[in-house]
């Protein structure tokens, strides 16, 4: 049986007594002013009585104030500052304050007008998440499998060159942080630590090696053999560097390898003495794949990299390398299909972080098309994606639209420059927390539950 309860109206008051209303026949005799004054006083008293005790003003007691005066001791250590960073952007701000302009701009910048980088980041902003409600998200599982092995998170560290130039711990910090997080680490051919040293620094990590094919094939073969002996299970060949991109920040900064001590850099050093102290008191920059080099990055690329590469070279790599083979720098659907036909186990949709061709295709926009093509081909090749990722929400959006895995470059380098190994750890922690929160708010508890229905690209 249903009971209907009529709500009361708290604003409704009973009509006042006639004796309280001035001018009525029953009002007491006397001057009108006295009657009015008594009536107003009574109304005020009733109003005061209606005010809850908690809203009446009083002089605060010390016992009330004491719990509010718990002043936290200020902390100025680097570790405390890193913990206060809640976003990758905040780590970037810290990195900029701590790092000389030339190496910071080398990391932060892109080619020409930097349109590609800006568009790549905007692509992740120009989406709308579509959450599901009333799902059990008390436990979030971010683990996945990539190229036949598990990863605790759906993100790995991308190959980055000259990393010890950005901060003295360089590749050692990146590989050890990845090992601790249970995710893959990719050493670049242009890395400033050797294949063997990185394997020794992170012996229990999952180490991959990124290869640039040199004009000297014997040199390339030597690198492949060293990577295999060091336990790298995946070879990632980069194919978007036929020539060097026009990285204008580097040109303006007079960027060289190693950094040159000019009047400008000396003045810059006065604001960032810790960086220069670390740089000058550690082993000079050496490379994973070549002896010491002096000159500009562009000159190095143009003199060493092979602009004659074809799919036949990919066939040679497939025959030579017995582990997993991934091709990085895919920017069209047709090329994604072709490299799989030539033996690739996976592709990385990437425009080199916007550092090669400006106005290049945006990997996040290309992703749904490649996923559709691979599905039609019944291809089991892995789809990975980099460029523009600055939050865990970006990663979740990419996974929802079809990526199997993602890679971060700048995002972890900002952490490295902000605080060495601890900064890389913090960058991974920020992304992990972002991912878990985004998953919960979308109403999914594991990555396999993500679908394209969870993301809408605005304007489409």
Tell me the torsion sign for CA atoms 229, 234, 235, 241.
negative
- Please state whether beta strands 455-457 and 127-129 pair in parallel, antiparallel, or not at all (unpaired): antiparallel
CA angle, 129 as apex, 125 and 135 as ends, to 5°? 150
The answer to whether residues 350 and 326 touch, using CB atoms and an 8 Å cutoff, is no
- Strand 324-330, strand 346-349: pairing: parallel
CA distance 243 to 441: 44
Active site residue 3: no
Rounded alpha-carbon distances, angstroms, from residue 128 to 88, 212, 395, 451, 459: 21, 37, 14, 13, 10
| 8 Å CB contact between 403 and 363 | no
Q: b/e string for 382-399 if b means 16 or more Cβ within 10 A?
A: bbbbbbbbbbbbbbbbbb
Annotated catalytic residue: which of 3, 282, 342, 352?
A: 352
Query: CA 17, CA 33: separation in Å to the nearest integer?
Result: 19
In the 8-state DSSP scheme, what is residue 66?
Answer: G
Residue appearing with tokens 């030539």: 342
Question: How many Å apart are CA 110 and CA 100, to the nearest integer?
Answer: 17
Q: What is the spatial distance between Cα 314 and Cα 345, in angstroms, rounded to a whole number?
A: 12
Dihedral over Cα of 385, 388, 390, 391: its sign: negative
Phi, psi of 139 (to 5 degrees): -135, 125
Chain centroid to Cα 292, Å, comes to 32
Beta strands in 324-438 (DSSP E): 324-330, 346-349, 382-385, 405-408
Supply the residues annotated as catalytic.
352
């Amino acid at each position: 049986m249903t009971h209907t309860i009529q709500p009361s109206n708290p604003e409704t008051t009973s009509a006042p007594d006639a004796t309280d209303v001035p001018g009525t026949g029953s009002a007491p005799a006397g001057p009108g002013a006295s009657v009015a004054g008594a009536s107003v006083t009574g109304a005020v008293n009733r109003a005061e009585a209606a005010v809850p005790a908690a809203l009446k003003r009083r002089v605060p007691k010390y016992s009330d104030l004491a719990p509010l005066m718990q002043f936290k001791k200020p902390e100025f250590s680097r570790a405390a500052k890193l913990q206060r960073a809640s976003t990758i952007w905040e780590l970037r701000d810290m990195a900029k304050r701590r790092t000389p302009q030339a190496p910071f701009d080398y990391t932060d910048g892109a080619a020409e007008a930097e349109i590609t980088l800006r568009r790549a980041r905007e692509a992740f902003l120009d989406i709308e998440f579509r959450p599901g409600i009333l799902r059990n998200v008390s436990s979030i599982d971010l683990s996945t499998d990539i190229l036949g092995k598990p990863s605790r998170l759906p993100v790995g560290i991308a190959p980055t060159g000259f990393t010890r130039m950005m901060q003295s711990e360089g590749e050692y910090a990146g590989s050890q942080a990845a090992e601790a997080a249970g995710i893959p680490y990719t050493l670049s051919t242009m890395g400033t630590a050797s294949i063997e040293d990185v394997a020794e620094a992170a012996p229990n990590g999952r180490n991959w090696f990124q290869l640039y094919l040199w004009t000297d094939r014997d040199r390339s073969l030597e690198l492949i053999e060293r990577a295999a002996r060091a336990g790298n299970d995946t070879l990632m060949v980069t194919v978007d560097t036929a020539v060097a991109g026009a990285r204008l920040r580097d040109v303006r900064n007079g960027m060289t390898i190693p950094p040159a001590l000019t009047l400008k850099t000396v003045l810059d050093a006065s604001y960032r003495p810790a960086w220069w102290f670390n740089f000058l008191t550690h082993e000079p920059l050496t490379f994973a794949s070549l002896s010491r080099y002096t000159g500009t990055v562009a000159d190095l690329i143009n003199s060493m990299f092979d602009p004659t590469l074809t799919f036949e070279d990919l066939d040679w790599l497939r025959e030579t390398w017995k582990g997993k083979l991934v091709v990085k720098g895919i920017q069209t659907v047709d090329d994604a299909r072709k490299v799989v036909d030539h033996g690739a186990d996976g592709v990385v949709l990437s425009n080199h972080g916007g550092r090669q061709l400006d106005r290049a295709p945006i990997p996040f926009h290309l992703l749904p098309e490649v996923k559709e093509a691979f599905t039609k081909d019944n291809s089991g090749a892995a789809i990975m994606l980099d460029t523009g990722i600055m939050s865990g929400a970006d990663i979740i959006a990419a996974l929802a639209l079809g990526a199997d895995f993602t890679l971060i470059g700048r995002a972890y380098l900002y952490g490295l420059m902000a605080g060495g190994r601890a900064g890389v750890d913090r960058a991974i922690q920020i992304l992990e927390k972002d991912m878990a929160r985004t998953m919960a708010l979308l109403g999914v508890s594991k990555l396999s539950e993500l679908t394209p229905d969870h993301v809408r690209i605005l304007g489409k």
